[in-house]
Amino acid sequence: MIYSKFTSKIKKAITRFSFKRHPDTKQDHTKENVIGVNAYMARGNLSLQNGWYYTEEDIQKLKKKVLNYTYINK
């Protein structure tokens, strides 16, 4: 208990003088934001509220992967 308090105080002292990292602006949070908005607006459908849905874009991506594959090698 005393040890953890001591180490947490040392950590605070060190981090006070460390350079703050800039937030990672390169990450695209669009999809997460869209899922968040859908979850807020959706009423009744659990799949929409949990972000479990497939858009036209998702289906076209999957279609490309699947239709280019051959199950039977000639």
Partner 1 sequence: MEQQAEQLIEEIKKEFNEAEMLLKKAELAQGGLQIPAVNELRYAGQHLLRALSGTSPSELVDADDISDSDDYVSAKKHCLRAKYDAVEGPILFFLKQLQDFQEDYKNEPISSVFPDYIEKITNAENIKKQLANISSASRQNYANVVEGYFDQLYEISSRLPFVREELNKKISVDEKNKRYVIYGILIALLGILIKL
Interface residues toward partner 1, by CB under 8 A:
45, 47-48, 52-56, 58-59, 62-63, 65-67, 69-72
CB of 50 to partner 1, least distance (A): 9
Nearer to partner 1, 10 or 62 (CB): 62
CB 47 within 8 A of CB 54: no
Which CB sits closer to partner 1, 6 or 54? 54
* Alpha carbon distance 34, 54 (integer Å): 13
Backbone angles phi, psi at 39, to 5 degrees: -65, -35
